[in-house]
Amino acid sequence: MSTGNQTLIRMTGLGKVFLTDEVETHALADVHLEIERGEYVAIAGPSGCGKSTLLSIMGLLDTPTSGQYAIGDSPADALSPRERAKLRNLTIGFVFQNFNLIGDLTVAENVALPLVYRDMRPAMRKEWVREALAKVGMEHRANHFPAQLSGGQQQRVAVARALVGRPLVMLADEPTGNLDSRNGDAVMALLAELHAGGATICMVTHDPRYADRAQRTVHLFDGRVVDESVAELTA
């Protein structure tokens, strides 16, 4: 679904080849994809089709073998590792299937991590963390440790960490994969709420129930975009 806004992510002829023991594995091939500011896009497809590879390139965690990728006004092709890390910190928030919280840090300290590498006053950092936790309903758990939280609560903290830096786009890789259906539905409702508030979200999922909640679903198969579908608007 097009929002008519500025193109935020642009992939043109993107390809990714992995070389292992002299065997070429084509994870992605000739992918063309655009995501506009304010969109909610799902990347769907069977296991091994290239979904997570695509998201890793989108998140500047990996580089393509061929083609071009740009986020905002920044082509990623010629960036140095340091420049990529800086751009990633400023523009992208990640939500992972395994939460990836640090066990010996409190909830507030985990959420603050993306801000540690910015030249930000401690008082402002504390305020941004408080606002992010409030958005996901976890402000009252700020001083708890991950082991004291349920899986659903940990994923809410992970979402807060993703949005605390006020990124251009939130990337979610199977965010419900380690949750039961009740907590999975709660996290999906939270993502929908954040999108309604203006967030741009790109989510990888193998679950068609959750893919259907996005505005647009891009279907991958064997590393290629084979179809796109747009959600029907409901009254």
Residues 202-219 have pLDDT tens digits of 999 988 899 999 999 999
CATH number reported for the structural domain that contains residue 153 in this entry = 3.40.50.300
1: confidence class by pLDDT, cuts 50, 70, 90: very low
In angstroms, the CA 115 to CA 118 distance is 5
Structural domain contains residue 74: no
72-109 pLDDT, tens per residue? 888 998 889 999 999 999 999 999 999 999 999 999 99
Q: Is the dihedral of CA 103, 145, 59, 30 positive or negative?
A: positive
The domain in which residue 198 lies consists of 39-61+79-230
> Which of 194, 180, 188, 223 minimizes the C-alpha distance to 64?
223
Which is higher by pLDDT, 3 or 38?
38
CA torsion, points 218, 221, 222, 223, in degrees to nearest 10?
0
Structural domain contains residue 161: yes
Structural domain contains residue 163: yes
9-67 pLDDT, tens per residue? 999 999 999 988 778 889 999 999 999 999 999 999 988 899 999 999 999 999 999 99
167-197 pLDDT, tens per residue? 999 999 999 989 999 999 999 999 999 999 9
**Residue corresponding to tokens 């990640």:** 94
Structural domain contains residue 12: no
Q: State whether residue 3 is helix, strand or coil.
A: coil
The predicted pLDDT at position 60 comes to 95
Tokens for 83, please give them: 């420049």
The predicted pLDDT at position 77 comes to 82
Q: What is the 3-state secondary structure (H, E, C) of 23-53?
A: EEEEEEEEEEEEEECCCEEEEECCCCCCHHH
The predicted pLDDT at position 7 comes to 92
Amino acid at 112: A
116-160 pLDDT, tens per residue? 988 889 999 999 999 999 999 999 999 999 999 999 999 999 999
Q: Is the dihedral of CA 140, 142, 148, 151 positive or negative?
A: positive
Q: What is the 3-state secondary structure (H, E, C) of 49-118?
A: CCHHHHHHHHCCCCCCCEEEEEECCEECCCCCHHHHHHHHHHHEEEECCCCCCCCCCCHHHHHHHHHHCC
Q: Is the pLDDT of residue 2 over 60?
A: no
Structural domain contains residue 201: yes
Q: Is the pLDDT of residue 235 over 80?
A: no
Structural domain contains residue 15: no
What domain count does the chain have?
1
Structural domain contains residue 125: yes
The predicted pLDDT at position 151 comes to 94
DSSP state of 180: -
